[in-house]
Chains A and B, each alone.
Chain A
Amino acid sequence: ETGVTQTPRHLVMGMTNKKSLKCEQHLGHNAMYWYKQSAKKPLELMFVYNFKEQTENNSVPSRFSPECPNSSHLFLHLHTLQPEDSALYLCASSHTISTGGGYEQYFGPGTRLTVT
């Protein structure tokens, strides 16, 4: 499955570093999502973009900054992270978003982030 790609696949960064995660979808979708998956918590929705506009920001700390230049690309800019931010960061896309019935989400392989 190569519909949604993420780079890098693994990232180790210090707490003072600045790095970016990249996601690209080749499915012609209009909605893109960032999720955080850590060992002891459910998959947590972080940000949602629909037609390049941010529609959801689930109380994510400002040290995470999303960017969506177009419907195919999504970035997550990271700065001054904490060790508890270590997790698998998953990008997903869907046709669009709507109320009521929804659309399935297609996930990328994720970036395994370790903050030291």
Chain B
Amino acid sequence: GQQVMQIPQYQHVQEGEDFTTYCNSSTTLSNIQWYKQRPGGHPVFLIQLVKSGEVKKQKRLTFQFGEAKKNSSLHITATQTTDVGTYFCAGVEYGGSQGNLIFGKGTKLSVKP
């Protein structure tokens, strides 16, 4: 079945450094979503990418969807302590039901002040 791999599993950065997490799917995706889960919290939707090669920005966060629609990345510029949490990508297999959202294991980001 479809698998979504996410790397790295953990990332420790100094405040002000950049951070990137990568997401790779074993199959072509119709769309990909990103979520953030703060420690002790629940996943919160960040963004959805649908088009091949799409790039979207939210302040210091930049999201990309690969040309083949099998990979995606999230880049945070100049991390802040408020960025701490686990970032998950989640994809829907092309032709599949949106109800079957497959999540990656997430990248846990810690930021040292």
Contacts and interface: CB of A to CB of B under 8 A. Distances in A.
A104 B45 contact: yes
Contacts, number: 76
Contacts of A92: 43
> Chain B, interface size: which category?
20 to 34
A55 interface: yes
A106 B95 CA distance: 23
A56 B99 contact: yes
Contacts of B44: 1, 107
A110 B42 contact: yes
Interface stretch (A13-21, A43-51, A62-70): A43-51
Nearest to B104: A42
Given A42-B103, A45-B101, A105-B101, A99 B45 contact: no
Contact of B88 (A43, A94, A99, A110): A43
Interface of B: 4, 30-31, 33, 41-45, 48, 50, 88, 90, 92, 95-106
Interface of A: 1, 31, 33, 41-45, 48, 50, 55-56, 58, 90, 92, 94, 97-110
